A and B are shown apart, each in its own frame.
Chain A
Amino acid sequence: MILELDQVTVTFSTGPPLRRRALHAMRDVSLHVGEGETLGLVGESGSGKTTTGRVALGLRRPTSGTVSFEGRPFGRRRRELAGRMQAVLQHPHWSLNPRMRVGRSVAEPLVVLGRAERGEVREMLEQVGLEAELADRYPHELSGGQRQRVSIARALITRPGFIVFDEAVSALDVSVQVQILNLIKDLQADFGFSALFISHDLGAVRYVADRIAVMRGGEVVETADTETFYTSPAHDYSKQLLRAL
């Protein structure tokens, strides 16, 4: 078990003072991601998918409940997890710092850990199907698909055991989406990382996930193997989602 969320609740308070309202972004969510496994997390906007991703990455502390990584609960300091978990995020347009050369962006997770970069960047760019020469370019010279490949290279460079993909292909053209999804599957076979694949796109999730969890209104309503889920969903909401597909 690489990542385990146990009874995690996240509450935001919103509204003006004196009329504060509590908003449950996550309510008693229990999920786990096994070694080498990809868990797909689906649900509509506002269902708590992204909050779940942020909690899994240690960016947000749960209001209650525990999160364990590699069998140990998260420590006090976020930095203890650095390099061991990474993320590929939503917007290809903002995923890379426009003022940094691509190579520097890819090398950043290594540099932050104080490790010297010895050719890993070029190697990694080739692994994700890009030319090593792109390292000297700036992000605005790249296409959306190329930028998302660079994000994947940046996430993989520290060889993390766990990667969160948060709507990683949603903003791309359909044909590019398929290429990126294939790339993720190939890389997973090579590097053996576990993944949490968050998306509202049921088609994309089916393609990469081993198991699927469905969220609605901050709660997990169903967790099932991908095949079981797509052939005979148990929960009404899952059926509804699949009919809409």
Chain B
Amino acid sequence: MRRPLDLLSKGGLGCLLALVAFALGSTVDLAGDPDAIVGPRLAPPGPEWWMGTDNLGRSMLPRVMEGVGTTLLLSCTAVLLTAAVSAAFGILAGYRGGYLNEVVLRLVEVLYSFPAIVLAVLVAAVLGPGQFAALASIVLVTIPLMTRLVRAAAVGVSQRDYVTAAVISGARLPRILGRHVLPNVAGTIAVQGTYALSVGISVEGGLSFLGFGVQPPQASLGVLIRQGGSYMIAAPWLIIGPGTVLVVAILAINVFGDGLRDRLEPRETRSLT
């Protein structure tokens, strides 16, 4: 039943942990203050500023560190919220079926029908641009898929004999859902959580790139890419640094998610994103 993670997904996990450590460096100003002006404007990478400086003369290295931190923290918080909401509704709808199931599925389908970035912009328009809008967008974008897959897994688990045996023994709903259904769909939640995390990072990137997400001077990967985009020809290091980190983060999470899926739920669920 338990197989070790393969080498590739171990690499993904390693990459992810390295990025987290990298981001944590900015909390102790390991590479200096991300907002301090330290040198000439648009200087190429050099011994004093390893990733170059931006259009205001701020060193890029601490800014990228702060940016990764902001993006990861936002996405992780959002995914935890998504997991809680999706688990609650998915499990209840999957176990109970009937009317509740229909309502949950229809609501989720409405959300699902919006392209991610359109939904995110809509949320930002309603809530006003900022971190909170980015958080809410990620939650709304990732809820539909996770809820549907958790529900599907819960439907399967609910038909198993140990659930029937618990019902026959007179177990109440909270016990059946908490002790029998939830632990057996936890694998699905974990796997979908990793995919949701990579979706979250790209939604944050997209929304902040458009200027509706995290607001400068705070750095996030989207903010940095937006700023770097203006100087793409004159100072490509401004966009290459955060761009590479964004790609590495999403790739690492997806590779790790695939490994986790193969280990936790062989042949059960496949990602659709």
**A residues 50-107 touching B (CB-CB < 8 Å):** 57, 59, 78-79, 81-83, 85-87, 89-91, 94-100, 105
Q: Which of the residues B1, B162, B166 comes within 8 Å of A94, measured between beta carbons?
A: B162
Residue from B167, B168, B184 having most chain A Cβ neighbours under 10 A: B168
B91, chain A: closest CB distance, angstroms: 14
Q: Contact: A81 with B170, CB < 8 Å?
A: yes
B11, chain A: closest CB distance, angstroms: 29
Q: Which of the residues B1, B161, B168 comes within 8 Å of A91, measured between beta carbons?
A: B161
B231, chain A: closest CB distance, angstroms: 54
B121, chain A: closest CB distance, angstroms: 38
Q: Contact: B161 with A100, CB < 8 Å?
A: no
Q: How many residues of B contact A (CB 8 A)?
A: 18
Known contacts: A97-B180, A100-B179. The answer to whether A112 contacts B171 by CB under 8 A is yes
Q: Which of the residues B1, B169, B172, B184 comes within 8 Å of A108, measured between beta carbons?
A: B169
> For the complex, would chain B's binding face be called helix, strand, loop or mixed by DSSP majority?
helix
The CA-CA distance from A100 to B172 in the complex, in Å, is 17
Q: Contact: B184 with A83, CB < 8 Å?
A: no
Q: Mark A89-131, 1 if CB is under 8 A from B, else 0.
A: 1110011111110000100110011000000000000000000
B147, chain A: closest CB distance, angstroms: 22
Known contacts: A99-B183, A100-B179, A112-B171. The answer to whether A59 contacts B164 by CB under 8 A is yes
Q: Mark B178-210, 1 if CB is under 8 A from A, else 0.
A: 011001100000000000000000000000000
A28, chain B: closest CB distance, angstroms: 25
B160 within 8 A of A: yes
**A57: nearest chain-B partner, CB-CB:** B168
**B170: nearest chain-A partner, CB-CB:** A82
**B160: nearest chain-A partner, CB-CB:** A94
Q: Contact: B183 with A154, CB < 8 Å?
A: no
The CA-CA distance from A155 to B162 in the complex, in Å, is 12
Q: Contact: B169 with A82, CB < 8 Å?
A: yes
Q: Contact: A79 with B168, CB < 8 Å?
A: no
* Residues of A with C-beta under 8 A to B179: 97, 100
B165 within 8 A of A: yes
Known contacts: A97-B180, A100-B179. The answer to whether A83 contacts B164 by CB under 8 A is no
* Residues of B with C-beta under 8 A to A97: 162, 179-180, 183-184
* Residues of A with C-beta under 8 A to B96: none
**A151: nearest chain-B partner, CB-CB:** B165
Q: Contact: B161 with A94, CB < 8 Å?
A: yes
Q: Which of the residues B1, B164, B175, B184 comes within 8 Å of A89, measured between beta carbons?
A: B164
The CA-CA distance from A94 to B172 in the complex, in Å, is 20
The CA-CA distance from A105 to B166 in the complex, in Å, is 9
A137 within 8 A of B: no
**B162: nearest chain-A partner, CB-CB:** A97
Contact-residue size bin, chain A (C-beta under 8 Å from the other chain): 20 to 34
* Residues of A with C-beta under 8 A to B166: 108, 112
B160, chain A: closest CB distance, angstroms: 4
A235 within 8 A of B: no
The CA-CA distance from A8 to B162 in the complex, in Å, is 27
B215, chain A: closest CB distance, angstroms: 44
A140 within 8 A of B: yes
Known contacts: A97-B179, A97-B183. The answer to whether A78 contacts B167 by CB under 8 A is yes
Q: Contact: A109 with B169, CB < 8 Å?
A: yes
Residue from A81, A95, A105, A108 having most chain B Cβ neighbours under 10 A: A108
* Residues of B with C-beta under 8 A to A81: 170
**B184: nearest chain-A partner, CB-CB:** A99
Q: Contact: B169 with A95, CB < 8 Å?
A: no
Q: Which of the residues B1, B165, B172 comes within 8 Å of A87, measured between beta carbons?
A: B165
Q: Contact: A112 with B162, CB < 8 Å?
A: no
Q: Contact: B184 with A86, CB < 8 Å?
A: no
**B residues 217-257 touching A (CB-CB < 8 Å):** none
The CA-CA distance from A81 to B184 in the complex, in Å, is 27
B213, chain A: closest CB distance, angstroms: 39
25 pairs, A vs B, C-beta closer than 8 Å:
A59-B168, A79-B172, A81-B170, A82-B168, A82-B169, A82-B170, A83-B170, A87-B164, A89-B165, A90-B161, A94-B162, A95-B165, A96-B162, A97-B162, A97-B179, A97-B180, A97-B183, A97-B184, A105-B162, A108-B169, A108-B171, A112-B166, A112-B172, A140-B1, A151-B165
Since A78-B170, A105-B162 are in contact, a sample of 17 more A-B pairs with Cβ atoms closer than 8 Å, ordered by chain A residue number, is A78-B167, A79-B172, A82-B169, A82-B170, A89-B164, A91-B161, A94-B161, A97-B162, A97-B184, A108-B165, A108-B166, A108-B171, A112-B170, A112-B172, A112-B175, A113-B170, A140-B1
> Which A residues are closer than 8 A to B by beta carbons?
57, 59, 78-79, 81-83, 85-87, 89-91, 94-100, 105, 108-109, 112-113, 140, 151, 154-155, 158
Top-9 shortest CB links A-B:
A82-B170, A99-B183, A109-B169, A89-B161, A94-B160, A97-B162, A95-B161, A79-B170, A94-B161
